[in-house]
Amino acid sequence: MQARLRADGSLYTDHTHLENLRYPDFDPRKLRGPAWLALERKLDASTTRLLTRSRNVAASMIEDYGADPDRTLVVGSGSNVDFGSAWFERADRPSSQEVRILFVGKDWVRKGGPDLLEAFGRVHAAHPETRLVVVGPTDLLPAPGLEALGHRTLEELREIYRDADVFCLPTRLEPFGVVILEAMHAGLRVIATRIGAMPDLVEEGRSVHLVPPGDPDALEQALLRLVEDAELRRRMGERGRERALTDFSWDGVADRVARLILAEVDSHAGVGGPPP
């Protein structure tokens, strides 16, 4: 069967520039000028459909750029680190043994690294056996319990995720946060901030703890709760991995996008009807 397709196609994105205005730490003086925003609107208007990773970005496209809600669709995202399809056993450590808290991200300040280091300092004082493992930054000063690993490859990250017990990303501004999905795929218990796409990614209280951005006190309490409760770490890790495998994979994204494209093909061929 032959069918004619529009020449414009689809746009897939994790963010919009105006979505930055919804983050409490964003400085409006850093907003790009009218020419940039006009280019975004022109690009959005030239496509058949707008595909986003999360609901907050879809809402920004509709509310901030005037996009058509009928062609603005959420298709999700996946993990960039491959952990395979088989579940791996994680040796949960009781609170009397070392608990490894993992942070992954190059932009230390924007992703809340200083807040995490402040909160972890108090946690480490109460539980000297805890460790904070940081991947990404290369210029951190030594601190008690801190293991700064610098840059690592995706293959190295795979093993680092598997050796950790808790993942923490207290980011202050985040387009999406693929590392959250990576941690969930690895079966880690996650602490993140209640901003941007985070509410889309998690089942708050079941697989992930969400705290306000820029709040080391709330972060400390969330860390202590997981450090001191091995059974809670186990339950949250299992729930998070189940949700990640079900809802957040690149195969799933590809399947959703393919269905939308095939529906467009059928529509132009006169077949009509939604994707199966």
Same-domain status, 33 and 169: no
Q: What range does the domain containing 176 cover?
A: 100-247
224: tokens are: 């202590």
Judged by DSSP in three states, 95 sits in: coil
Residue 47 lies in a domain: yes
Report the pLDDT value the prediction gives residue 276, as an integer from 0 to 100: 42
93: tokens are: 């450590």
Domain CATH number, residue 113: 3.40.50.2000
Same-domain status, 62 and 147: no
Degrees, nearest 5: CA angle 49-53-58? 55
Judged by DSSP in three states, 82 sits in: coil
Q: Residues near 21 by Cβ (< 8 Å), separated by ≥ 6?
A: 28, 31
Residue 87 lies in a domain: no
Same-domain status, 74 and 151: no
Report the pLDDT value the prediction gives residue 87, as an integer from 0 to 100: 54
Same-domain status, 114 and 135: yes
**d(Cα 226, Cα 102) in Å, to the nearest integer?**
13
Residue 5 lies in a domain: no
Residue 51 lies in a domain: yes
Residue 127 lies in a domain: yes
pLDDT, tens digit only, all 276 positions of the chain: 233 334 347 889 999 999 999 998 899 999 999 999 999 998 888 888 899 999 999 999 999 999 999 999 999 999 988 887 555 555 555 555 789 999 999 999 999 999 999 999 999 999 999 999 999 999 999 999 999 999 999 889 999 999 999 999 999 999 899 999 999 999 999 999 999 998 888 777 677 899 999 999 999 999 999 999 999 999 999 999 988 988 899 999 999 998 888 877 666 555 444 444
Q: What is the pTM of this model?
A: 0.86
**d(Cα 37, Cα 31) in Å, to the nearest integer?**
9
CA atoms within 13 A on the CB side of 11: 22
Same-domain status, 114 and 20: no
Closest listed residue to residue 209, CA positions, set 186, 190, 185:
190
Residue 88 lies in a domain: no
**d(Cα 187, Cα 206) in Å, to the nearest integer?**
13
Same-domain status, 223 and 143: yes
**d(Cα 188, Cα 198) in Å, to the nearest integer?**
16
Same-domain status, 66 and 139: no
Structurally, the chain folds into a number of domains equal to 2
Sheet holding 146-150, edge to edge: 146-150, 131-135, 100-104, 166-169, 189-193, 208-211
Same-domain status, 119 and 180: yes
